[in-house]
Amino acid sequence: MGYDAFGLPAEQYAIEHGVHPAISTAQNIDNFRKQLDNIGFCYDWDREVRTSEPSYYKWTQWIFLQLFNSFYNRNTQKAESIAKLVSEFEKHGNTEHECPADSLIQFTGFEWKAFSKKEQQDILMMYRLAFCGLGEVNWCEALGTVLANDEVVNGVSERGGYPVVKKKLRQWYLRITEYADRLLSGLETIEFSEAMKEMQTNWIGKSFGAEIDFVVNTSTNTPHDIPLTVYTTRPDTIFGVDFMVVAPEHDLIEKITTAEQREAVETYITYVKSRSDRERQAEKKITGCFTGAYAINPFSGKQIPIWISEYVLAGYGTGAIMGVPCGDERDHKFANHFNIPVTNIIGDYYDGKEANPTKDAKLQNSGFIDGMVMRDAIAVVNRELQDLGIGKEKVNYKMRDAAFSRQRYWGEPFPIQWKNGVAVPLDETELPLLLPEVDSYSPGPEGEGPLANIPEWVAKELETNTMPGYAGSSWYFLRYMDPHNNETFCDRKVSDYWNQVDLYIGGTEHAVGHLLYSRMWTKALYDLGHIGFDEPFRKLLNQGMIQGSSRFVYRIKGTNKFISHGLIDGEAYKIEDTDPIRVDVNFVDGVELDIEAFKQWRNGEYTDAEMILDGGKYICGSEVEKMSKSKFNTIDPTDLVEKFGADTFRMYEMFLGPVDQSKPWDTKGIEGVHRFLKKLWRLFFDEMKGKVWNEEKPTAAELKILHRTIRKIEDDTERFSFNTAVSAFMICVNELADLKCNKREVLESLLIMLTPYAPHISEELWLALGNKNSILDASYPKFEEQYVIESSKEYPVSINGRVRTNINIALDATPEQVQEIALNNELIHKWMEGKPLKKFIFVKGKMINVVV
């Protein structure tokens, strides 16, 4: 058992209440522990870990250093030490090791030695598995801080409603892209659901395409020799290119934008900066701006206008695309919106209204590939590009390197010092680098983290960023194996013994985050020889999420006014004019907000809020979504455990539905499980008569009930179908009660099966039966077929697929006998209405169907 204890919520709490995160985290953990004990969970508490403890994050820092001191050797397809790379560079430069950050960088061994120390380190940084670079963050000038996507609503900060823009900051990254192929191939070796594998595969997004260089003309008369490189998966459509789109962040824009368009372009770029990633993603409207420049199609010589648009991302491919409206839906919409004429290269496959992404069309208007089938033309064009030196085949991945730094306090400090602009790792002996105390958790200057406010920290030139929440959670399963080791993160002999996690239970929401990061860390540690397996989890079970019901208040944009939900009617007030903000469900009664509690919330942040009421009340909006602290919609199990007991609570959770299905938390029906446990109790003890269990021999009927249950529970438990298992227990107890079976022999077996589901009552009744040892040590009942064998079955009989009657037929009857019995049945005769028999279908043990 462990706690992933670093992160934003504790820091936020610290900012609001001035309580040190270490203290509030410890309190939270105590509370969790109470709840877990209360429910009766069995963990090996000797192996408890907390990611925020120095004894734990010492090794998170240590693993970071392993990544920092490693590069990915593409020739051997594994992580190797930077020292080895340096010796390679000294011998023959980087001829054997293409630079992953920039394939254009090339140098010889001689040149390498001539580089300054700083230049050498800058180059090495481009190879390291943990590296530093520039990245964009959500910057809120008014709050002077960087915000998580979570904290941004409609392009303004959730707290206070201040504008948020993109800002470039120095950031740490993990070079997870180097592991893309192994993360893909590794999926074949592990038991994850197909859906999960598909999500990870799509996220990694390997695609085969080509990079093509176009020459840019800034005016129609004076060609400049500026290349614009685009990435496309469809080089075969090169003759259908009607426009280019480059990302608004693209370096080229400055150089190519014409004087007439400069103002429009700058306005557009400012607009894009104000847009959150989520908005750029989800928006349906089409935006863009013409740069005034043209690119020249290398094959047709055609002038192609170059646009910028937010739908093209700087981080993928080359940050520029060629627009082929007849073959790509988004390009088509773009062309339509800006009245760009569409060239048809696929004849009848294009109807003039919608793009057609086919690869089967014969190309038209396509120069040297005219008449070819598109899918065949791809290789032809690639060869031609290569021959002309204006393009090459290229494999791309959607996945980008993982941002690994946060401008926050409550996270692992980086064991890095900056000396003259060079990142110098601390020695292993200096770990853990302790997180220092601070006076205030507010951000440092220029968007730096709170650590930048500490003079001693800055004087030591230590890195002021901290690691993100997922650092500690990327390897905790290894620490469970060897939690108290002070010499190493996990002894190799120990991890060899325990090996992979046999069964990992977690939600699909971690598909492209935690479940990829931990796979990458495991692979890196494996490559470096620290562990003996390169996939952390042998089998993954995705449990569904219990959802909560969140409550919202609606802040009118740009104001401190909050409008009651019912007044947002789409006419006088529109939902688009508001920023929906979640409030704590604890001060909402149903949907009615306790305004006083709201105003005192978050240290009085909303004290001055102006509430626009509806009939004297403020009515909140509600939404069912994942239960989460950050959504303020969590519930505490303690009250229910108090009222019904832990066994009822546990069984009810299991009875709610299939384990892999998400559903809103709802306590309707918990009574049913409680009644079941009471009914079970009454098989042993009667309220009036006291003890009723006895030593009588069970009858055949009773043994049949028992053994059917044994089989069912085994089956259901094996396939994690806990809800049907609970139902099987209920059926069993109902039937035993009907037969007034209070026989010890039957009841004991039942109790043993029930133990994992309802351990407390099982143990208590077990001891009440006079057993001396714990029920946990009892041997599991064995299923015996002889008690459940049936000799005949009530077959449902259909006429033309509709069930009309049932006939009892011996199970060993031959198909011929069955047909004779069925056709001679009076009711069936009636339903056949004298029509001739067309077909007789008999599925043994299942059903009979008469087709006429």
Partner RNA sequence: GCGGAUGUGGCGAAAUUGGCAGACGUACCAGACUUAGGAUCUGGCGCCGUAAGGCAUGCAGGUUCGACCCCUGUCAUCCGCACCA
Angle between helices 8-17 and 595-604 (to 10 degrees): 100
Both tokens assigned to 249: 């962040």
392 near RNA, rule: CB under 7 A: no
Report in angstroms how near the CB of residue 660 gets to RNA at its nearest. 8
717 near RNA, rule: CB under 7 A: no
Give the integer Cα–Cα distance in Å for 410 and 404.
14
Distance in Å from the first CA to the final CA of the chain? 64
Detail the DSSP E strand segments found in 437-492. none
Q: Which is nearer to RNA, 77 or 281 (CB)?
A: 281
Q: Which is nearer to RNA, 157 or 508 (CB)?
A: 508
Report in angstroms how near the CB of residue 485 gets to RNA at its nearest. 32
Segment 142-201, which members bind RNA (CB under 7 A)? 149, 194-195, 198-199
Binding-residue pattern over the window 529 to 548 for RNA, x denoting contact by CB under 7 A: ----------------x-x-
Rounded CA Rg of the chain: 34
Report in angstroms how near the CB of residue 280 gets to RNA at its nearest. 3
Segment 78-137, which members bind RNA (CB under 7 A)? none
359 near RNA, rule: CB under 7 A: no
513 near RNA, rule: CB under 7 A: yes
When binding is defined by CB under 7 A, the residue of 31, 77, 106, 202 that contacts RNA is 202
Interacting stretch for RNA, rule CB under 7 A, among 93-101, 167-175, 487-495, 510-518? 510-518
234 near RNA, rule: CB under 7 A: yes
CA 286 to chain centre: 29
- Give the pairing type, strands 546-556 and 663-664: parallel
Segment 298-327, which members bind RNA (CB under 7 A)? 309-313, 315-317, 319, 321
Report in angstroms how near the CB of residue 766 gets to RNA at its nearest. 22
From residue 645, give the alpha-carbon distance in Å to each of 38, 674, 732: 9, 9, 22
Give the integer Cα–Cα distance in Å for 268 and 682.
75
815 near RNA, rule: CB under 7 A: no
When binding is defined by CB under 7 A, the residue of 98, 181, 509, 745 that contacts RNA is 509
Give the integer Cα–Cα distance in Å for 245 and 309.
6
Q: Which is nearer to RNA, 317 or 449 (CB)?
A: 317
Name the amino acid, one letter, at 794.
E
The C-alpha angle with vertex 288 and arms to 283 and 293, in degrees rounded to 5, equals 160
506 near RNA, rule: CB under 7 A: no
461 near RNA, rule: CB under 7 A: no
When binding is defined by CB under 7 A, the residue of 212, 511, 593, 706 that contacts RNA is 511
When binding is defined by CB under 7 A, the residue of 52, 648, 662, 762 that contacts RNA is 662
Give the integer Cα–Cα distance in Å for 140 and 318.
29
567 near RNA, rule: CB under 7 A: no
Query: Torsion angle, CA of 726/731/736/739, rounded to 10 degrees?
Result: 170
What 3-state DSSP class applies to 206?
strand
Interacting stretch for RNA, rule CB under 7 A, among 33-41, 49-57, 495-503, 663-671? 663-671
Q: Which one, of 327, 364, 358, lies nearest residue 342 by Cα? A: 327
When binding is defined by CB under 7 A, the residue of 538, 617, 629, 679 that contacts RNA is 679
Omega before residue 163 within 30° of 0, cis: no
Name the strand (E) or helix (H) holding 758: none
When binding is defined by CB under 7 A, the residue of 247, 342, 423, 828 that contacts RNA is 247
713 near RNA, rule: CB under 7 A: no
Both tokens assigned to 240: 């259908």
When binding is defined by CB under 7 A, the residue of 273, 538, 626, 844 that contacts RNA is 626
Q: Which is nearer to RNA, 602 or 679 (CB)?
A: 679
9 near RNA, rule: CB under 7 A: no
Give the integer Cα–Cα distance in Å for 4 and 49.
9
Give the integer Cα–Cα distance in Å for 837 and 816.
14
When binding is defined by CB under 7 A, the residue of 571, 738, 777, 826 that contacts RNA is 738
420 torsion bin: left (phi>0), alpha (psi -120 to 50), beta (else): left
The phi, psi pair for 320, rounded to 5°, reads: -150, 145
Segment 765-794, which members bind RNA (CB under 7 A)? 794
When binding is defined by CB under 7 A, the residue of 254, 666, 784, 816 that contacts RNA is 666
Residue where the block lists tokens 């009588």: 696
828 near RNA, rule: CB under 7 A: no
The phi, psi pair for 83, rounded to 5°, reads: -55, -40
Interacting stretch for RNA, rule CB under 7 A, among 59-67, 77-85, 583-591, 659-667? 659-667
When binding is defined by CB under 7 A, the residue of 400, 492, 574, 829 that contacts RNA is 400
Q: Which is nearer to RNA, 47 or 629 (CB)?
A: 629
Detail the DSSP E strand segments found in 75-188. 78-81, 130-140, 145-147, 152-153, 156-157, 165-174
Q: Which is nearer to RNA, 177 or 500 (CB)?
A: 177
Interacting stretch for RNA, rule CB under 7 A, among 214-222, 226-234, 377-385, 426-434? 226-234
Sheet with 792-799: strands ordered across: 802-810, 792-799, 847-851, 839-843
Interacting stretch for RNA, rule CB under 7 A, among 66-74, 202-210, 485-493, 584-592? 202-210
Q: Which is nearer to RNA, 140 or 850 (CB)?
A: 850
When binding is defined by CB under 7 A, the residue of 594, 605, 623, 763 that contacts RNA is 623
Residue where the block lists tokens 């049932």: 806
Report in angstroms how near the CB of residue 648 gets to RNA at its nearest. 11
Q: Which is nearer to RNA, 512 or 769 (CB)?
A: 512
Give the integer Cα–Cα distance in Å for 123 and 89.
11
Both tokens assigned to 718: 């094996």
Interacting stretch for RNA, rule CB under 7 A, among 64-72, 163-171, 502-510, 528-536? 502-510
Give the integer Cα–Cα distance in Å for 104 and 392.
14
Interacting stretch for RNA, rule CB under 7 A, among 120-128, 337-345, 362-370, 670-678? 670-678
Question: For the residues of 10-30, what is the DSSP string, one character each?
Answer: HHHHHHHH---HHHHHHHHHH
611 near RNA, rule: CB under 7 A: no
Both tokens assigned to 386: 């290569």
835 near RNA, rule: CB under 7 A: no
Binding-residue pattern over the window 271 to 290 for RNA, x denoting contact by CB under 7 A: ------xx-xxxxx--x---
Interacting stretch for RNA, rule CB under 7 A, among 382-390, 525-533, 611-619, 723-731? 723-731
739 near RNA, rule: CB under 7 A: no
Q: Which is nearer to RNA, 398 or 704 (CB)?
A: 398
Q: Which is nearer to RNA, 319 or 449 (CB)?
A: 319
Give the integer Cα–Cα distance in Å for 534 and 519.
8
Give the integer Cα–Cα distance in Å for 376 and 755.
64
Query: Torsion angle, CA of 802/806/811/815, rounded to 10 degrees?
Result: -50
Both tokens assigned to 732: 């069993």
Q: Which is nearer to RNA, 6 or 231 (CB)?
A: 231
Give the integer Cα–Cα distance in Å for 582 and 76.
50
When binding is defined by CB under 7 A, the residue of 4, 592, 715, 764 that contacts RNA is 715
Contacts of 248 (CB under 8 A, 6+ apart): 268, 269, 272, 308, 309, 310, 312, 314
**Residues near RNA (CB under 7 A), total:** 98
When binding is defined by CB under 7 A, the residue of 166, 330, 514, 708 that contacts RNA is 330
Interacting stretch for RNA, rule CB under 7 A, among 293-301, 438-446, 662-670, 697-705? 662-670
When binding is defined by CB under 7 A, the residue of 173, 231, 307, 757 that contacts RNA is 231
Q: Which residues pair with 549 in a beta bridge?
A: 624
Q: Which is nearer to RNA, 402 or 431 (CB)?
A: 402
